[in-house]
Amino acid sequence: MSGAQVVGLGLCTPIGTSTHMTLASLRAGLVRYTRTDVLDEEAEPVRASRLSLLDDALTRTERMVALARQALAGVRPLLAYLPSVRVPMYLGLPEAGLGPQVEQEALVETLLAETEGRLEIVQVHAAGRAAFFEALASAQKNLHSGRAGALALVGAVDSLVDGVSLKAHVGARLHLGRRNPDGRIPGEAAGFVALARPGALKSLKLEATGVLLGTALALEPRPFTQRGPSLAEGLTEGLHALRQDAATGTRRVDAVFACQPGDSFWATEFSRAYLRNASLMPEPLRVHVAGEGLGDAGAGAGPVMLGMALHRARWRHAGTRRTLVYGSADGGRIGACVVEMIRSTREET
């Protein structure tokens, strides 16, 4: 296999402060939807998927810092495999627009301090739900070229449940409520994925859980922010690129994992892109949407969905191996990847 190998995963979400807790909660169908102190135009509390361990008064950046620190703990032990090298990190963050601006410098400084200078921030992608996939593409390119060495971290974090962000949802009439039954539930999440260069596993003495077969990026000319019907041109283009990739287009995926909230706009987008790329899609069609368990986790949904793709197959659907994971940002940037599970030797014995 020539794709980058997934050798580590760290997650923190409202349904679990570790990878194991998050994935087990998703498997069990648990949610953490709660009524907040922010009221909408009907004087009804805005609902959110919020980590209850964090103080409700924290700002967006403060919540993101706390989530990212906890998620980073899940992959930090891997840095010991390269004791004399700074490991490159590629970070996905929210897109500009809804909610307060994120203090990137404070977030990055915290991550660097948390690893005692063992990380090197190579690139930050502020692209919302597409950010994680843009970071994946950058990391995979540098791993193949040798610029990233043997190991790289790809992460993403977002929070849309602070008071200011919730009020912004109300002002934009995006939240799920009496006047908007087609709305979304704001959420939050953070995750980090450790990728190893193809061929480096033996020297690192690590075991892979999956392989990244391919990534694709695209831009939607008529995005959600224009408030018109979705024509799915961008997602169609991204999925077509994966179909044309020799590593991913030779057979169907076994499942589709979408980083989207529950708005009908995204269902229409996927339906139209699906019909134009039917040869890539699973039969029968299986789609899992992040909004069902996490709410709208924004940029943070990407690593959670990738982790679920690699581990959900160990719980059910024994034949499931290859998964399409994609994310479409409100502003139109789109990212997608195909990841294949690798069954560990411990599972086979």
What pLDDT, in 10s, does the model give residues 66-100? 999 999 999 999 998 888 789 999 999 999 988 99
pLDDT of residue 314: 53
Pairing of β 210-219 and β 151-159:
unpaired
Least confident of 15-19, 148-152, 171-175, 247-251: 247-251
- List the Cα angle 206/207/209 in 5-degree steps: 135
Q: Which of 176, 204, 232 is the last residue of a domain?
A: 204
Least confident of 80-84, 131-135, 241-245: 80-84
Query: Domain tally for the chain?
Result: 2
Considering the domain architecture, whether residues 200 and 87 belong to the same structural domain is answered as: yes
Considering the domain architecture, whether residues 277 and 177 belong to the same structural domain is answered as: no
Considering the domain architecture, whether residues 137 and 232 belong to the same structural domain is answered as: no
pLDDT of residue 320: 56
Distance of CA 79 to the CA centre of its chain: 22
Considering the domain architecture, whether residues 160 and 269 belong to the same structural domain is answered as: no
pLDDT of residue 227: 85
Closest C-alpha to 323, from 243, 274, 255, 239? 255
- Buried/exposed code over 289-304 (b: 16+ C-beta within 10 A; e: otherwise): bbbebbbbbbbbbbbb
Provide the percentage of residues in the chain whose pLDDT is more than 70: 94
Residue 343 has pLDDT above 80, yes or no: no
Pairing of β 287-289 and β 255-258:
parallel
Residue 205 has pLDDT above 60, yes or no: yes
Residue 212 has pLDDT above 70, yes or no: yes
pLDDT of residue 2: 62
Q: Which of 144, 174, 204 is the last residue of a domain?
A: 204
Q: How confident is the model at residue 183 (pLDDT cuts 50, 70, 90)?
A: very high
Q: How confident is the model at residue 344 (pLDDT cuts 50, 70, 90)?
A: low
Q: How far apart are CA 194 and CA 230, in angstroms?
A: 34
Q: Which of 170, 204, 238 is the last residue of a domain?
A: 204
Closest C-alpha to 283, from 256, 313, 243, 247? 256
Say which CATH number the domain at 185 has: 3.40.47.10
Residue 346 has pLDDT above 70, yes or no: no
Considering the domain architecture, whether residues 295 and 219 belong to the same structural domain is answered as: yes
Considering the domain architecture, whether residues 66 and 184 belong to the same structural domain is answered as: yes
Which whole number is the average pLDDT over 144-159? 94
Considering the domain architecture, whether residues 200 and 339 belong to the same structural domain is answered as: no
Assess contact for 300 and 269: CB atoms under 8 A: no
Considering the domain architecture, whether residues 217 and 199 belong to the same structural domain is answered as: no
Which whole number is the average pLDDT over 262-291? 96
Q: How confident is the model at residue 1 (pLDDT cuts 50, 70, 90)?
A: very low
Considering the domain architecture, whether residues 170 and 311 belong to the same structural domain is answered as: no
The 10s digit of each residue's pLDDT in 7-62 is 999 999 999 999 999 999 999 999 999 999 999 999 999 999 999 999 999 999 99
Considering the domain architecture, whether residues 247 and 154 belong to the same structural domain is answered as: no
Q: How far apart are CA 160 and CA 331, in angstroms?
A: 16
pLDDT of residue 315: 47
Considering the domain architecture, whether residues 25 and 164 belong to the same structural domain is answered as: yes
Q: How far apart are CA 9 and CA 299, in angstroms?
A: 16
Residue, of 143 and 250, whose pLDDT is higher:
143
The 10s digit of each residue's pLDDT in 289-337 is 999 999 999 999 999 999 999 986 454 555 558 999 999 999 999 999 9
Provide the domain limits for residue 223. 211-348
Considering the domain architecture, whether residues 194 and 274 belong to the same structural domain is answered as: no
* Residue 110 burial by Cβ neighbours in a 10 Å radius (0-12, 13-18, 19+): middle
Residue 221 has pLDDT above 60, yes or no: yes
